[in-house]
Chain A
Amino acid sequence: MTEQSSTEHLIEEMFDEAEFVRAGDLVTGEGRLDGYTVSIIGTADRAYIGADVALAMARCVLDIMHDKPARPILIIVDNSGHRLGRWDELMGNNGCIAHLTKCLYAARQRGHRVIGLVNELAVSAGFMALGMSTDACYALPAAEVRVMALGAMARVTKIPLDRLTELCATSPVLGPSVENFMRVGALAGVWSGDLAGHLRAELSKLTKPNDDRRQLGHERGGRMAALDVARRVRAGAEA
């Protein structure tokens, strides 16, 4: 028997009872906690989101919409971003990822509560498609969220790595880390300790929250311009 991934371990730890299957990088199933039954869609081992993975996840979301109306969905996020390669580009992976996000959006519109939890890693398009498309996304304390690893970022931006590391300490918009993604409002919070308790609290929220990420980013001091700029443009202001 192969060793269990941290995603599978996390599911077992969080729920009273859970049934799930792993197929490739995909982990799907359902868990029960107190009176709640939750559909689970996750990836394991820092998966790369290829066109096939994106479609397999979309299929799960569609099936849940058909078969389990209004049931909450927990997305366990663990990915290294989109898969790089000629075949995925030929197939239009951007379209497949957009389709996955569209399915998650539709699920929320149809009354499914969609909760994200970053387990180990979430990178760039993998966070955009799976973290940003939730009602609220949380992270484990040891998780990492990033657009690009610092070394690669230093090469592309031509900012020396030392300097970049220094800048990241003071600028929440620049570098990787759960703390920075908290400050810009992309993560609602960190789940540590009693995971079942955190999930129960989230499930017990009655109202479907609006997307408050921009507000959160402003309150937390990580994204000070976006709220005002978007508001002025929305109002049609010339200045």
Chain B
Amino acid sequence: MIPPRHSYLEASARSRLAGILDAGTFREYCGPKARQTSPHLPGLGMPVAFDDGIVVGEGRIDSRQVLIAAQEGGFMGGAIGEVHGAKLAGLIERALDIRPAAVVLLLDSGGVRLQEANAGLIAMGEIQRAIFDARTAGIALIAAIGGRNGCYGGTSIVARSCDVIVASEEGRLSISGPEVIEEVDGIEEFDARDRALVWRTMGAKHRRLIGEIDTLVRDDMTAFRDAIANHIGDSRSMDLDALEAEHARLADRLLRFRDVGDARDVWARLGVNDPDRVSDIETNEFNALVDTLEGEGR
């Protein structure tokens, strides 16, 4: 019997943790009983959460020890404020002390929490630095994207600072939100309500095709779990040769697509025969397509 599909997209942060980790292995740090709430939201008349919208702790995946964080997209869009950011930074810093097999970040976030913007922005920098410190120590950082809020703003830079990104086709990874681009550039440049445009510009399939995402999975908890488990230990070097290789890859992309205005033109140039179909095909067929393309991919 095929077990019923368990959507990652629809799940809360805590049920994502339950779905990703070996049963009964999660131990939370600074959890809701600590009542570590935002010191800034009450002054703005806004509600707080006892975990400030992020769950952090340790657990096991296939019996291997990991540190893990899950952003709760239902609280302020998963946005990073002072406490939320400090929990995430502290978790990644802990990797240097206990040397887990990996640090796993289940990201679901619009970026900096504007109600405590300055503290959120500085936290982004601290998180990014902690990621680089852990990577330099040889610990793999794995980001997963497949929640309602996607992965935007500073969180999108955090994601790309990790070794590996796993995403579902519902995942989005981009620095600017569609509405912000529309407001600044005009609706002719970017119509935020054009879901197909948003999807093909920022969605995980485009990101996978240009090599920004490592593994694309269907929206299923077990699929996420398996993909994350497969990437444990996949450290990428940050030495000068590795940085040069990454630089060459990015510079080549910008040169190759400098005149391109739409993702479908990028895909066609990558060798996709029928770019209009990419949006519709299932994950397995899409992944088979990616395998047949040459060049891109890190």
Contact = CB atoms under 8 A, between A and B. Distances in A.
Contact of A174 (B98, B118, B253): B118
Nearest to A92: B212
B119 A173 contact: yes
A62 B201 contact: no
A95 to B, nearest CB: 4
Interface stretch (B4-12, B258-266, B283-291): B258-266
Contact of B156 (A94, A105, A153, A175): A94
A232 B229 CA distance: 27
Considering residues A88, A133, A147, which has the most beta carbons from chain B within 10 angstroms of its beta carbon? A147
A181 interface: yes
B86 A233 contact: yes
B169 interface: no
Interface of A is mostly: helix
Interface residues of B, number: 84
Interface in B103-131: 112, 114-126, 128-129
B1 interface: no
Interface stretch (A7-15, A30-38, A39-47, A220-228): A220-228
B96 to A, nearest CB: 9
B71 interface: no
Given A94-B175, A132-B129, A174 B94 contact: no
B181 A174 contact: no
Interface in A67-126: 82, 84-99, 101-103, 105-106, 109-110, 124-125
B39 interface: yes
Nearest to B160: A98
A156 interface: yes
B293 interface: no
Interface of B is mostly: helix
Contacts, number: 252
A101 B128 contact: yes
B75 to A, nearest CB: 15
A171 interface: yes
B251 A55 contact: yes
Given A86-B201, A94-B175, A55 B121 contact: no
Contacts of A23: none
Given A99-B246, A225-B39, 19 more contacts: A55-B247, A55-B251, A82-B175, A84-B176, A86-B185, A89-B202, A93-B175, A101-B157, A105-B132, A106-B239, A128-B121, A147-B120, A173-B40, A173-B116, A217-B119, A217-B122, A236-B58, A238-B28, A239-B30
22 contacts: A84-B184, A84-B185, A87-B261, A92-B253, A94-B173, A102-B243, A103-B243, A106-B239, A109-B136, A133-B129, A147-B114, A157-B114, A159-B44, A175-B117, A186-B122, A226-B119, A227-B86, A229-B87, A230-B126, A232-B30, A233-B30, A234-B93
Interface of A: 51-52, 55, 58-59, 62, 65-66, 82, 84-99, 101-103, 105-106, 109-110, 124-125, 127-129, 131-133, 146-148, 153, 156-157, 159, 167, 171-175, 180-181, 184-186, 211, 213-214, 217, 222-227, 229-239
Q: 5 shortest A-B CB distances, which residue pairs?
A: A132-B125, A233-B90, A230-B90, A147-B117, A98-B160
